[in-house]
Chains A and B, each alone.
Chain A
Amino acid sequence: MNAPTRVTAPASAAVGSAGRGNRLRRSTLLRHLAVALVAALLLVAASYGLEPFRNFQLATVAAYLCATAGLTVLTGLNGQLSLGHGALMATGAYTVALTQGRFLDSGVTSGWLLVVSLLASVLVTVAVGAVIGLAAARLRGPYLAGLTLAVAVVVPAVAITFDGVFGGEQGLSVPVEPPPLALGPYFPYERWQAWLAGAAMLLTMLLLANLVRSRFGRALRAVRDDEVAARLAGIHVGRTQVLAFVVSAGCAGLGGGLLAVLAQSVSPGAFSLTLSLFLLMAIVIGGLGSLAGAVWGAVLLVALPDLTHSVTELFTLSPSVAQRWEGNLPLAIFGVTLIVVMIAAPGGIHGLLTRAGRLLARRRRP
């Protein structure tokens, strides 16, 4: 990663009156920081305005966003398909569960231990991602899909096979400290969860956004568009691909770790092959190739099951029909949405919005 070559003023000077100043427009880092700051303020405001359950969902969106953003970098920007990101999330989740459990056993208690556990989950997943990435860099198209698919199937199976460590299908519980007392004795737990996941998500998004706009990001896209041309331009294709996998895996690990913290438990059922496929579908529907698309994807992942449940509640169905609907409807809706989006708006939700924005801008011009 290369630091911006331009000299940057302190952020405080840039944000505020100079919001449209030249410096802000020219410095990627400052612009991203400003966006992150606004997003953070919005998150905090939302966490005060929302019901506990909505806060929990907001936190879940943030956790998923870490993973979908990472997957967007890999698939959207670098052109490597991964059907195994659910398994990488599982790796992160189990790491958090095991480290938190170990801390509890050894009698260490501190709010900061969670940060340590989450960092551990990123590191472990990065290591796993590096191994998969090394293999993935040598594969193309369906072979790559096959390899990552195998990962998606193997990781939950490992958790079940070594049930002594991973607790089998019942999984493990994740001991999590209550919110810090400094926030007051009755601080809602779900709001705390939203803050926690939101902070991790914003940090991830900030780093990814900078990465995408950097030289490395350009290399990613170059490799996606034309490997030969990229080689001629002096880009090390293999290394770029492995790095893309590593970055993306680290994000997935963090996302999985956050999910484990939110649910206070992990089980292989949470990270089935379906999740891996859902992640991929989510970023395609959200809009492949831009981090904003990943945001829509993460929102979809949380909103759809909820939405379908509301839909089934609208109709008074016979019990047997309702039963059949209940579990399968989200899958069906996801699939249909994917097909419709691919036909009608290949750019996904974000593509649609950008187009609408362009139309607006054009209309405003005399």
Chain B
Amino acid sequence: MQRFARRGLAVATSLALLTSVAACGDDGGSGGGGAPVPGVTDTEIVVGTHMPLTGPAAAGYSSIAPATKAYFDYVNANGGVHGRKITYKIMDDGYNPANTQQVVRQLVLQDKVFAILNGLGTPTHTGVLDFLKSNRVPDLFVASGSRSWDQPEKYPFTFGYNTDYTVEGKILATYIKANHAGQKVCFLGQDDDFGRDSLVGVEKILGAGTVAAKQTYVTSNTNVAPQIGAFKAAGCQVVVLATVPGFTALSIGTAARLAFKPQWVVSNVGADYNTLAKSLGEAAPLLEGVVGTNYMPMNNDTANPWIQLFTKVNQAHNGGAPFDGNTVYGMSVGYLFVQALLAAGKDLTRDSLVAAVEKGGFQGPGLAPLRFSRTDHSGYGGARMSRVTAGVQGYFGPAYETDEVDGPVREYAVAPATPPVNGIPTVS
């Protein structure tokens, strides 16, 4: 008898658990009385993202999504978009592709988000492309410069945002060719499409086989001494870094310990001065002379109207968080998304949103052209060189634009747009 009581209890408990799980399975989503579009009601648009709030890439990147959210809150406080408030669900994936799989499924299947916005990371986002495609979820403005996002045929709902790593690599190499001709150039890249795409761009300009030493790193191993040691042994004079901020700081710090002082030339995604200075702490002076790229207004350029706007939003809706390049980036993503929502019209559907982005023609804070069209899903198409001088990161020279294949690197002279008076885009 005892055994039956026990077993009965076990089965009863499992059943109770299952039903409770089923019962709370319907708490997310739009709840808008059977709204035809997931995540959209008359009063709300639910959007989700995956970000490294913890883990090896959290340094710097963890402040992007809160900045985007702050801009949305600013728009919401001013009446929202077509009367709808934007809710931004931020999920931590720790820069671990396995976690990204989980949290994106949760966002799409359970929280029923309307779109995924600015999901961060090359290795992380690559793993969810197929899932998002099969669920027909708009996958906008991926926070990475991998060329994978620009495949309109294969992934019709995915759009990039960052200047792609190959374009950026070409611009970096153009700078090296002009200023460090004849010097030994070496390359350290992340061991995925980020590092690979960047190297392709560098070699397109400098020529294949001209890079003296090529090394890779993985984010799970925070020891880059072997790679930096190899550069020192090879006599590198210029080192190109396709690294996330934590590993930019690690590389520069490790090199200093080995008494190795090359000219650092860093990819935009790992070149934000404030983030690096915070990581290096006392050793921040090592950043003197570091060259990078950017395509957003500099966070310390207080004369820039965009920076004034974003500073205001940061004070009012982001608790006055440290204002760095990631903050500017996050808010500019928010601005572009609001532009896309406005362009998609009052009758918002997933298809109308994708069509609006493909129509393109967006003007924003960027220094490079935004290249959205039916055949191009890549995002920003250029960058401008920056340098750290006396602890201040500033631009020098013109902005450049180019393509990810064999096109020339050209100067881009179009001045960025000025923001609207109240800081909220209008239907163009």
Interface residues of A (CB under 8 A from B): 42, 46, 49-54, 56, 156, 160, 163, 168-171, 173, 189-190, 263-265, 267-272, 292, 295, 299, 305-306, 309, 318-320, 322-324, 326-328, 353-354, 356-358, 360-361, 364-365
Contact = CB atoms under 8 A, between A and B. Distances in A.
A360 B12 CA distance: 13
Contact of B21 (A50, A190, A323, A328): A50
A264 B128 CA distance: 9
Q: Report whether over half of chain B's contact residues are helix, strand or loop; otherwise say mixed.
A: helix
Interface string B203-247: 000000000000000111100000000000000000000000000
Contact of A323 (B14, B53, B123): B53
Contact of B220 (A173, A268, A319, A358): A268
14 contacts: A42-B18, A50-B21, A52-B109, A53-B109, A169-B97, A170-B123, A170-B126, A190-B109, A269-B99, A319-B66, A323-B54, A353-B6, A354-B6, A358-B5
A92 to B, nearest CB: 14
B396 interface: no
Given A160-B191, A168-B218, A267-B127, A327 B2 contact: no
Interface string B94-110: 10111101100110011
A173 B5 contact: no
A269 B55 CA distance: 11
Given A169-B123, A170-B123, A318-B319, A163 B191 contact: yes
Contacts of A52: 109
A360 B22 CA distance: 28
B1 A361 contact: yes
B322 to A, nearest CB: 10
B220 A160 contact: yes
B218 A263 contact: no
B122 interface: yes
A269 B220 CA distance: 8
A54 B25 contact: yes
A299 B63 CA distance: 33
A264 B131 contact: yes
A128 to B, nearest CB: 20
Nearest to A263: B101
B132 to A, nearest CB: 12
Contacts of B127: 170-171, 173, 263-265, 267
Nearest to B94: A327
B2 A358 contact: yes
Contacts of A156: 220
Contact of B319 (A168, A319, A357): A319
Chain B interface size range: 35 or more
Contacts of B66: 319
Contacts of A270: 96-98
B224 to A, nearest CB: 14
A265 B101 contact: yes
Contacts of A163: 191
Given A163-B191, A267-B97, A358-B2, 20 more contacts: A51-B109, A53-B106, A54-B21, A160-B218, A168-B191, A170-B123, A173-B130, A190-B109, A265-B127, A267-B127, A268-B220, A319-B319, A322-B53, A326-B54, A327-B94, A328-B54, A354-B6, A356-B9, A361-B6, A364-B5
B301 interface: no
Contacts of A265: 97-98, 101, 127
B22 A357 contact: no
B2 A168 contact: no
Contacts of B221: 160
A171 B5 contact: no
B92 interface: yes
Contacts of B63: 319
A322 B99 CA distance: 18
A364 B6 CA distance: 13
Interface of B: 1-2, 5-10, 13-15, 17-18, 21-22, 25-26, 53-55, 58, 62-63, 66, 91-92, 94, 96-99, 101-102, 105-106, 109-110, 122-123, 126-127, 130-131, 134, 191-193, 218-221, 318-319, 321
A46 B21 CA distance: 10
B105 A53 contact: yes
Contacts of B25: 50-51, 53-54
Contacts of B218: 160, 168-169
A357 B220 contact: no
A189 B130 CA distance: 13
A56 B25 CA distance: 12
A169 B191 contact: yes
A49 B122 CA distance: 36
Contacts of A53: 25, 105-106, 109-110
Contacts of A190: 109
Given A51-B26, A360-B5, A353 B192 contact: no
Contacts of B9: 353, 356-357, 360
A354 B292 CA distance: 64
Contacts of B92: 323, 326-327
Contact of A327 (B53, B219, B318): B53
Contacts of A306: 106
Contacts of A309: 91, 106
B427 to A, nearest CB: 31
Nearest to A57: B21
Contact of B98 (A49, A269, A327): A269
Question: What are the nearest 4 A-B pairs in CB distance?
Answer: A327-B54, A270-B98, A357-B6, A53-B109
A356 B54 CA distance: 40
Contacts of A324: 54
B197 to A, nearest CB: 12
A190 B1 CA distance: 39
Contacts of B55: 327
Contact of A319 (B1, B54, B105, B318): B318
B89 to A, nearest CB: 9
A52 B38 CA distance: 14
Contacts of B318: 319
Contacts of A46: 18, 22
A361 B5 contact: yes
A189 B26 CA distance: 19
A26 to B, nearest CB: 13
